[in-house]
Amino acid sequence: YSDGMLRDELREILKNVTDIERLTTRLVYGTANARDLKSLEKTIRLFPQIKELLNGAKTNSLKRLNSEIDPLTEIADSIENTISEEPAITLKEGGIIRRGCNAAVDELYEMVTNGKAWIARIEELEREKTGIKSLKVGYNRVFGYYIEVPKSSIDQVPDSYIRRQTLSNGERFVTPELKETESRVIGARDRLYALEYELFVALRDYVLNSLEPIKTAANALAELDVYCSNAEIAREQNYVCPEIDRSDKIILKNSRHPVVERFLEGSYFVPNDCVLDCASNRIMLITGPNMAGKSTYMRQIALCIILAQAGCFVPATEARIGIVDRVFTRVGASDDLASGNSTFMLEMNEVADILKNATKNSFIIYDEIGRGTSTYDGMSIAKAVVEYTSKKIGAKTLFATHYHELTELEGECDGVVNYNIAAKKRGNDVVFLRKIIKGAADDSYGIEVAHLAGVPEAVVNRAKQILASLLEDAPVRVSNKKQDDDNVSFDLISENRVIDRLKALDINTLTPYEAITILYELKKELD
């Protein structure tokens, strides 16, 4: 992370490293071809360069990796000296052994590629030996190669010639040497292919004898590649080295989602803090409208924990993360019609798994528990899950919900703290500020989100009318605190609403005009 030059040089070399594990697997199963060995050789040639760069490393991890990388020079030399630069893909059709590696291969190769030259050479030798200038060597399918002598020179034919055919203008002969050469030229290709394959198999077996140091070096390079990649992204994206301990605390300042922030074009990813422990900040009960960023926030906290425990830096400006035993998530489901499971059933299966297996040292994410059933059933289940998680399990938990009634748990259940994702309503529209603040949300903004999604204006307006009617008919909820009088005045209800709105306000996000507007609304409600 701190040595950019070393990191850049290592990454540049590692770009040329092939998949050694795949190559060694092919070697073991006998499916590797000459090009695979050539790729292995080119990778092994990089080992000394990597070791040289790591010689000055100060950390124990890099020193260990350096010691695990054997230069394997003998292996690389053997492959280079045996396999041609551009070997054929197939193994039994030649073209894989380097010229000069084996004398027999070179001779057979000459026969295959220069067969006509061999015949011409024999023709020249026979002319010199017999003195017959018009002698020539020919070929047909019946006799193979033959020596043809015109009638005028028959008396010069030596006794060693064997007559094969008489023609009108001459005669054809063969010699033991010619038939031997013919046999060698015609069978040279098959012998060449067989010999090349034999030499390749011998080389492959030789490389297999060094399989363990090759695999050890491959593992070291893979680990080094992970370190380089993690360091590069940490430096490039301003990640911070987390403080890891065995406490029950998770403290993140300005944390971000490592994936989402990379896909935001032309906009700024709003960072958020997180403070969790197993005492007074056990459960963050998060409310707020859809699309405000509740799910993203919860996932980024979980990802920061996972990254930290994997040995990576995390996307934040400060991080203190106590080790967790497992991360449990209930963040989405879909119908499994084939097995007859509905969305709600799958959701409950996941919740059941969490409640049965989570411990005090776990980290839990619940996203919209109970949304797949009726309002009262869902709210009841959600509340029961929060209470059980807080009292029986005691794990650090993020719980996102649209059931605003659950916000009352902050005063009833130890460790539950209300948070919400800030949003601003402007007419029929809503602006998501993406900032998580303490307190409960004052509205779900569902109708405004529908308007943003493009639902027709007539439907949006009708939804507002229906909502207003439902709110008028709904029973007034009052504080759970014991009152001196059995009758609660409307003034007290109004004052409580004003107090709740003031508690939920984040004055750092208000414009002067919005502040004046809110102040006017609060004054009007009190009057």
Q: How far apart are CA 271 and CA 267, in angstroms?
A: 13
Q: How far apart are CA 39 and CA 22, in angstroms?
A: 11
Is residue 291 within 8 A of residue 297, CB to CB? The reply is no
**pLDDT tens, position by position, 309-346:** 999 999 999 999 999 999 999 987 555 555 556 778 88
Question: So what's the pLDDT on residue 18?
Answer: 93
Closest CA to 126 of 80, 160, 89: 160
The answer, yes or no, to whether residue 232 has pLDDT greater than 90, is yes
Question: So what's the pLDDT on residue 243?
Answer: 96
Contacts of 66 (CB under 8 A, 6+ apart): 51, 54, 55, 57
Query: Bridge-partner residues for 329, per DSSP?
Result: 365
**pLDDT tens, position by position, 80-101:** 999 999 998 888 888 899 999 9
Closest CA to 239 of 1, 517, 513: 1
Measured CA distances, 389 to 85, 131, 331, 360 (Å): 65, 110, 16, 9
Helices (H), 395-487: 409-412, 446-452, 457-473
Of residues 486 and 56, more confidence is placed in 56
Query: Bridge-partner residues for 396, per DSSP?
Result: 363
Is residue 331 within 8 A of residue 365, CB to CB? The reply is yes
Closest CA to 305 of 329, 288, 286: 329
Using the Cα atoms of residue 322, residue 328, residue 330 and residue 332 in order, give the sign of their dihedral. positive
Question: So what's the pLDDT on residue 484?
Answer: 41
The answer, yes or no, to whether residue 525 has pLDDT greater than 80, is no
Mean pLDDT across 279-305: 91
Q: Name the token pair of 198.
A: 């034999």
Helices (H), 316-361: 343-357
Question: So what's the pLDDT on residue 474?
Answer: 58
pTM: 0.70
**pLDDT tens, position by position, 422-447:** 877 766 667 778 889 888 876 667 77
Task: For 7, list phi and psi in degrees, rounded to 5.
Answer: -60, -45
Mean pLDDT across 291-307: 93
Q: Which secondary-structure segment (H or E) carries 145? A: strand 144-150
Decide the pairing of beta strands 283-287 and 250-255: unpaired
Residue 12 burial (CB count, 10 A): 11
